[in-house]
Each structure stands twice: as C-alpha cells, then as structure tokens.
Structure 1
Amino acid sequence: MNASTAPILETSGLGKTFGGGRTLLGARKPQVHAVRDVTLAVAPGETLGVVGESGCGKSTLARMLVGLVPPTSGTIALDGQALTDAAKAGPRAFGRTIQYVFQDPTSALNPRKTIRQILEAPLIHLIEADAPARERRVAELMDIVSLRPEFLERYPHEFSGGQAQRIGIARALAAEPRIVVLDEPVSALDVSVQAQVLNLLSDLRTRLGLTYLFISHDLAVVEAIAERVAVMYFGRVVETGPVDEVFRAPRHPYTRLLLSSAPAIGARAEASDAPQAELPDPTRPPPGCAFAGRCPNVRDDCRTAPPPLVPMGRGRAAACLHPLPAEGADGPA
C-alpha cells in the first residue's frame, strides 16, 4: 500500500474468541481463539488477498469486517472512523460502505424469494429507494453482472453456480458500496466458471472503483487477482506484502510451506522439510510462535512469546524471529 494513501479499511489488534464462561456447575467452558491480534490496512481501489489453510481464521476475520460477528478485542475503522462510531450512525451508513459475497452462492440466496426480491432488499432497507428507482437499479445490476432481465422472476434453484454467484455479486453491489469482502467466492465453482467470475470481479473493480478483501485458500486465484497478500496461520497474520514478491521469495517459513504444498499442473508433490506435527490446540494457544512445532528453523526463543509483525522493507512484513533470507541474500536476515 502506498504510504501516502490513507487506508479505506483498517484493523488494529483485532481478535475473536468463541465460547468461554462457566457451566451451571461452575466448570470452565473451553474458549476457542479464532482470530488473534490482526492489524491490517487496505488502500482505496486495491485488492488485498488473505490466504491460509482451513481453520486459520480467514472467514471469521471476514465476518467481523462486515459486522456479522462482533470482535472480542481490537478495532475496525472505515475511512478512519471506528466501527463502533459508524454503527451509531445506523446500519444504512455502514451497509453502504462495505458488503459481503458468500462462499456458497446457492445457499446464500433465499430460496423463497425471486431474484428481483433478493436484489430489491438492500435497496429497500439500506437506501430506502422508491419503486421506480428500484426498478432502474435492478435493471442496472443485471446488466452489470451480464444476466438477462427475464431471470428476475426466477428463483435461486433455477440457476447454475456461476449464475448464482453473479446474483450474489449483484446483491452486494446494490447499495453501491466502496468495499466488498469476498469470502472464497469461486471455490464452489468449476474451473472454467471461476475464470469468468474472476474476470467479472476485475472488470467491476476497475469500472466501479471498488476495494476488495479477497479471502481464499487458492494461491493461484489470489496471485491472479490481488496486488497484496496477507498470510494467516492459527488466527494471526504471519506475513504481508506485494503478492508477487511474497510468492516468489517468502520470508516466513509457513508461507514457504504453504507455497510448496500448492499443487501445480505437471509437477509431482514433494515431501516438505517441515517437521510433521499436529496443529496447536485453539483452546490452549502456545505461549510462543504457533508455527514452532512445524518450523524447520525453530529456536528456543521462538517458544517464549508470539513474534510481532515486523517491517522488512519494500512494503513487506513478517512475524518471525528468524525469517528466511531476503531475495539475493547469502544468509539469514
């Protein structure tokens, strides 16, 4: 992100825990630490990809950003305004700034509503548009996502996955948000349909001046659509930077493991040099680096406290006490 550009979306120390408290008999309930101390900034007009293996907290982070899940700690700010302050202005102000596209396009649409009713809902509840304005906007939305007008009177089950996701994108754009959070938006689609939806998203970002937060476990998809990437592991961001540089020369050992594990056409899977170990227990996070048990570079100081996300030049940062060598370096950084 350009240092001179004020971020449109920021998080600071964002965390989320589930569970906790005590039972009726006084026994302590387990508490799951889903997201821990996430600090990010997204510039207007950019696409930030968020990657990591299943269970790393990507979707929980996405849901906090759009208000579907309240954070346990930390802050979220839109245009420098804290989310708690924005919420006082009412859901309309917040809903018109940031919207959400769900992973499963079919289950995200109400099966009892027609497509017209689905697209009109945000126009009624967020911007209170009258009937003629809703008619015009719904027609615009169908054109934007390249769907035929006669589809408006049909129901979600009558559409393919790619068409349903286009409807989901249209619904997210109905109230003209500036930020769209996309949670695995193409993972449920065939590869050829994925390409169509990704091309549509790229075109919409350019045409409408949108900012994307793109959540995915597919590194190739993130590389194709994002300028910057944030890598998450066990609820924390462990590396950030320009997507091409991070994927070419990762600084965090987990990022290297993630990249080496990604399947590629024409290449055989190779054994990793990372130690085989179970993931940490989310109800009892380790005191040090959560990746220590799987890291080939682990040292004693890695197990004492979680390493902070440290700037490493060229817009990059990594949460590692002993990062991998920078590109062209002869030894550890």
Structure 2
Amino acid sequence: MTDALRLEGLSREFPVGKRLFGKPKGIVHAVRPVDLSVEAGETLGIVGESGCGKSTLARMLVGLLPPTTGRIEIEGKPLDTADPAAFGKRIQYVFQDPISSLNPRKTIRQVMEAPLKRLHGMDRAARERRIAEIFDSVNLREEFLDRYPHEFSGGQAQRIGIARALAAQARILILDEPVSALDVSVQAQVLNLLADLKRELGLTYLFISHDLAVVEAVSTRVAVLYFGSVVEVGRAEDIFRAPKHPYTKLLADSAPVVGRPLSAPEGRETELPDPLNPPPGCPFAPRCPRATEACTGAMPALEPQTGHRVACIHPLG
C-alpha cells in the first residue's frame, strides 16, 4: 500500500539560555531522529507522557516548526519548508483547544473562506458552495457562519476546526489531542464524526493523545514516544495488550481502569530525565526494572520483535 506520509531522520532541537553572542548554554533534543511511515487510509496513534515530543513532532509535520534535520514526504513527494501552501494543501492540523485555535475577531465564514481563497483561489460562489458542503458533512448549520468563536460550545467549535481543515482539501489530518478538552459524551460524537469522514473522504490521520483507551479504539497502529524517541511501533490491538518495551507497559499500567483501584506503577521518587543532561544510552534505563549496564551504552535502534518494532535491548516476552 502507498505511504501517505514518510518521515526520515526528522528531529528538532531548541537552544536554551541563548546569549547575544556565542553558543547557547545548552540544547534540548525535543525530537530525536524519527523514521516513520503512515499508509494511506490508516490512523497512526502517537502516545507518550507530557514532554515526550508529540506536539513538537506534529507541528513540524504541518510547517509550524522547521525541523532541525530530516525529511518529510507526502505520497512520495518532499514538502518544501519554504512554501507554506505546500503544507496547507496536503496536510492540516486540528488543534487541542478548539476555541482558542479560532481567530476571535473573525466570523466563522471568514475563518472558512481563508483556505479556500488563499490555497485554492475560489471565487465567492464557489466558496459558498464548498462551505455548504463541508458544514453538511460535519453536521453544522449554515446559520453558524455569521457568528464568532466565543458563541459556540467546545464540541461545536471542534467541528468548526475540523471543517476548516477539510476546507483546505488536504488528505492528511494531524489530530493533536482533538477530544481531550471535551466532555465524555461530546468526545464520542466527535470521534464518530472523524471515523465517518475518514471512511467517506479517504483521509489519513495521525492521532495524538494521552488517553490510551481512545488511541486503541481509533488507531490502526500506534507509535510510542519517550524522551523524543520512538521506542515502539505496533498494531493498535497488540501494542497495549502485549507490549514489548517496558515503557509501553508502564503507560498501559498507568491508565485508569473502571473497577481497578488507582495505583502508581512507579515510586513517587521517580523522575523524568533532565533534558539538558540526558542519561547515556537508553533514556528509559534509569526507570526500567530490566535495565543492565548494556543499556547505558548507545540508544537501541528500532528492531522487529514479533510483529512490533522495539528500541530495547531487553524487550518483554
């Protein structure tokens, strides 16, 4: 099957303690070199703790952040980081906070018209027809078009955010925590809408979330990030049922389950690595019960392991 999206050696670094002259005091490797592919029509879930690099990766994919190194390809064609329109026509972003992602000074009609005018050069009549089609597909009434973002509930605003992404006619959507700010009942409505749109329009999703149950329910495959690196990739139905990386197991054990008492899988003294002074070798080694001296050598590469790809010297059986 054709790869809709391919990442090769994609990374992002941020200088810390920047001086007027000379080198910065330190470098934070927010995303270490990532190699990933996403097949057309699939949903790749991206999971990991806060600060693991999920949103930084997503922002590079849509051109909001330039990568430090690496290459992004869509349908075999490289994206030109100097041309914002190249991103907008092929890949779009749905933000976590739907209301703050919309310009408060513009009506919804103006928000929807922007990509149709700037990316596709549509005249007014064509824009009106297209907006009517999109609003119908996301179950929104056309009377909403002359209102402002603050007049909508979170669920309505997220539907508008999805509609704006569809207006660009992109085939790939980056969904960055798209339901985490919504009530549970509204979450289900938005997730069902996304599933319907994917099926009807042949879309490809990258679904970023900390909610493992949601990721498992909507994803075809899952990539697990830790400290800026991909440590495991596998099928969604297998990745948490039979994880191969100890960090993936830690995530699964940390997720709350109805009827099970809340308990921390680690001691309270456990800390994340210092981004300015990362540990040698595998960054999870200081927290890993299976770690040995060999784990402090070099960062393990992603290797095939019974249907998964795992970056671990001592994978789980």
TM-score, normalised via structure 1 length: 0.92
Corresponding position of 1:150: 143
In the alignment, structure 1 residue 219 sits paired with structure 2 residue 212: yes
How much does 1:268 deviate? 0.6
The range that moved more, 18-27 or 62-71, is 18-27
How much does 1:236 deviate? 0.5
User: 1:137-286 to 2 correspondence within 5 Å?
Assistant: 137-272=130-265, 276-286=269-279
The residue type equivalent to 2:78 in the other structure is: A
Residues 56 and 130 from structure 1, CA distance in 2 versus in 1: closer, same or farther, beyond 3 angstroms?
same
Structure 1 residue aligned with 2:28, among 32, 37, 52? 32
Give CA-to-partner distance per residue, 1:269-327, whole Å, 9 cap, x none.
2342679531111122222100001000000010111111111132x1010000000xx
How much does 1:68 deviate? 0.5
Distance (Å, rounded) in 2 between the aligned partners of 1:29 and 1:8: 39
Corresponding position of 2:309: 317
How much does 1:257 deviate? 0.3
Corresponding position of 1:75: 71
Distance (Å, rounded) in 2 between the aligned partners of 1:229 and 1:261: 17
The residue type equivalent to 2:309 in the other structure is: A
User: 1:272-311 to 2 correspondence within 5 Å?
Assistant: 272=265, 276-311=269-304
CA RMSD of aligned residues (A): 1.6
The range that moved more, 58-67 or 281-290, is 281-290
In the alignment, structure 1 residue 48 sits paired with structure 2 residue 67: no
Distance (Å, rounded) in 2 between the aligned partners of 1:22 and 1:191: 42
The range that moved more, 61-70 or 14-23, is 14-23
The residue type equivalent to 1:247 in the other structure is: F
Moved over 4 A (4+): 273-276
Give CA-to-partner distance per residue, 1:138-183, whole Å, 9 cap, x none.
1111111101111110000000000000000000000211100000
SS in 1 for 2:170: coil
Residues 274 and 94 from structure 1, CA distance in 2 versus in 1: closer, same or farther, beyond 3 angstroms?
same
Contact 1:289 1:303 in 2 (8 A): yes
TM-score, normalised via structure 2 length: 0.96
Alignment size in residue pairs:
317
Contact 1:275 1:293 in 2 (8 A): no
The runs of 5 or more residues in structure 2 that have no matched partner are none
Percent sequence identity over aligned pairs: 64
Contact 2:15 2:24 in 1 (8 A): no
